[in-house]
Structure 1
Amino acid sequence: MKSTIKKIGVFTSGGDSPGMNAAIRSVVRTCAYMKIECVGIYRGYQGLIEGDFKPMDARSVNNIINKGGTILKSARCDEFRTPEGRATAHEKLKAEGIDGLVVIGGDGSFTGALIFNKEYNFPIMGIPGTIDNDIFGTTFTLGFDTALNTVVDAIDKIRDTASSHNRLFFVEVMGRDVGHIALNAGVGAGAEEILIPEEDRGLERLLESLKRSKKSGKSSSIVIVAEGDKSGKNVFELKEYVEEHLPIYDVRVSVLGHMQRGGSPSCYDRVLASRMGVKAVEALLEGKTSLMVGVRDNELILTPIEKAIKGHTKLDKELIRVSDIMTT
């Protein structure tokens, strides 16, 4: 079924991730190619409620494909959680003549979009933008690849210091509920141990691993810890535990924090964002709605947003096996 959409709004919501600007650029330029209007909505749902709109054309997105963050900004919006807030947002969209939305963000952003769609039957298309790679329905989310490269680069630098001073470093990376960043970066950076939420192997295993490393002649070690790991209350408690039970180690902690979100997007994220933006606009123009654009086996796919929100991503079991072999 062909749609009657003539003007599409695009916004970013939730935590920023590298590749969001590339996705904005793709949506805007696809609209221009299809000869329909495009409007940028600033500050996510907050801007939607306040009518913070700006018409965008192909030239307005020059030189942003290489930039991290999001030119459309992002903000929390408790008001959109209320029926009154969503009613205001709908009135603003109608007044502007916007008849379709592309939402770039994570599961929280998609949850709001789905509720809005159900209440007003408003056409919505989602593009997954989050460095955690924790959205069901896609092998990769925008920003994940860039975040991995940022983390690996940081670990490489930390290892130089660890080796120079014969130290053990706990490096905490993002991943409150999933260990995609920790697992992939740990394997890629040659970490001696990787601690993730999905594989709670206990503190005793960690101690045994560190003892083996020391016995094998290693003078320094890197342990990657996802922030949601359950081995201890936090990475600093892990440090204290190891210092107490293995005083031979000089232990340090490095929390990478929000630096993982920043920086220029990798080529992979730029290309993926460009592909997803085209697909999102085309799907709306085909009369589709409440779907998220994803990638699987390098092919773009569409997954119901409700399924993307409720589904759970799974770690690559083969990569877990490889990490066990590599940390021997």
Structure 2
Amino acid sequence: MSWTEVHGWAGKGGSYLGTRKQLAEEAGLGKIAHKLQEHKIEGLCIIGGFEAFHSCLQIAQARDRYPAFCIPITVVPCTISNNIPGSDFSLGADTALNEITDICDRIKQSATGTKRRVFIVETMGGFCGYLATLAGLAGGADAAYIYEEKHGILDLKVCSLECN
């Protein structure tokens, strides 16, 4: 890849190189070690989410079995879920939260003139309620239902009755 091929990527969200949620052990630690040796790689900078963190941990724990893993390794937290241990913020989380908040503001404009309706906004973020919780707070939601806390249709009904 040349500089001209990646020009302009910095100002855009998303992934242009491709992504994979496969853990290092699933991909094969031996294969990874072989490729590191073959290409004389002297350090790894892994950009990603929780799976990237977990893979980095797997590689570090396998250093006694694979000498090729005895190199500096770092993880740059980059996930809208903002769930990387040891970090406060991750790339993409703030952008996603701002987008959701803007959209909720537009939905609220439509909702102001209506009565006895429930507006549901589903956020991304996998099994992590970070975006839903913070977007609910920022948008003034009556409730935010997240994966970590069990909920059902009855919760929506009760909330709807209490809020109207």
Q: Say whether the fold is shared (TM-score over 0.5).
A: yes
Residue 90 of structure 1 pairs with residue 51 of structure 2:
no
Q: Residue 149 of structure 1: CA displacement?
A: 0.8
Quote the residue 1:68 is aligned against: 13
The equivalent residue for 2:85 is 136
Give the SS at the match of 1:113.
helix
Q: Does 1:178 align with 2:128?
A: yes
Match of 1:106 among 31, 46, 49: 49
Paired residue total: 157
Q: Match of 1:137, as an amino acid?
A: G
In 2, Cα distance between equivalents of 1:152 and 1:164: 20
- Distance in structure 1 (CA, Å) of the matches to 2:44 and 2:37: 12
Which fold has the larger relative contact order, with Cα–Cα distance below 8 Å and residues 6 or more apart in sequence? Answer: 1
Q: Cα deviations across residues 177-221 of structure 1 (Å, max 9, x unaligned)? A: 33211111111111122222445577666544322321xxxxxxx
- Once residues 112 and 199 of structure 1 are traced to their aligned partners in structure 2, the CA distance between those partners, rounded to angstroms, is 27
- 8 A contact 1:116–1:122 mirrored in 2: no
1:1-328 to 2 correspondences below 5 Å = 62-77=7-22, 81=26, 85-117=28-60, 118-119=62-63, 120=66, 121-123=69-71, 124-166=73-115, 167-200=117-150, 206-214=156-164
Q: Cα deviations across residues 74-114 of structure 1 (Å, max 9, x unaligned)?
A: 135578515xx332222222222211000011222222222
User: Partners of 1:207 and 1:135 in 2: how far apart?
Assistant: 34
Which residue is equivalent to 1:240?
none
Equivalent pair of 2:80/2:93 in contact (CA under 8 Å): yes
Q: CA contact under 8 A between 2:82 and 2:130: conserved in structure 1?
A: yes
Q: Contact (CA 8 Å) 2:46, 2:74: kept in 1 or not?
A: yes
Q: Following the alignment from structure 2 to structure 1, what is the Cα–Cα distance between the partners of residues 151 and 6?
A: 47
**Paired position in structure 2 for 1:315:** none
AA partner of residue 196 (structure 1): I
Compare 135-144 and 61-70 and name the one that shifted more.
61-70
Verify the 8 A CA contact 1:81 1:112 in the aligned structure 2.
no
| CA deviation after TM superposition for structure 1 residue 130, in Å | 1.0
1:12-55 deviation digits (Å, cap 9, x = unpaired)? xxxxxxxxxxxxxxxxxxxxxxxxxxxxxxxxxxxxxxxxxx5x
Instruction: Give the alignment's TM-score, normalised by structure 2.
Output: 0.76
- How far apart, CA to CA, are the structure 1 residues paired with 2:14 and 2:35? 26
Change (3 A) 1:116 1:201: closer
Q: Give the strand-richer structure, 1 or 2.
A: 1
Deviations 1:260-290 (A, max 9, x none): xxxxxxxxxxxxxxxxxxxxxxxxxxxxxxx
Contact (CA 8 Å) 1:152, 1:188: kept in 2 or not? yes
Aligned alpha-carbon RMSD (Å)? 2.9
DSSP 3-state at the match of 1:170: coil
| Alignment TM-score, normalising by the size of structure 1 | 0.42
Change beyond 3 A, Cα 1:86–1:204? closer
Aligned equivalents of 2:149, 2:7: Cα separation in 1: 44
- CA deviations on 1:220-241 (whole Å, 9 max, x unpaired) are xxxxxxxxxxxxxxxxxxxxxx
Tell me which amino acid in the other structure corresponds to 1:154.
I
Equivalent residues of 1:156, 1:189 under 8 A apart: yes
Give the superposition deviation at 1:66. 0.7
How far apart are the structure 2 equivalents of 1:76 and 1:202? Answer: 29
Cα distance, 1:122–1:183 mapped onto 2, change above 3 Å = same
In the TM superposition, residue 61 of structure 1 has moved relative to its aligned partner by 5.0
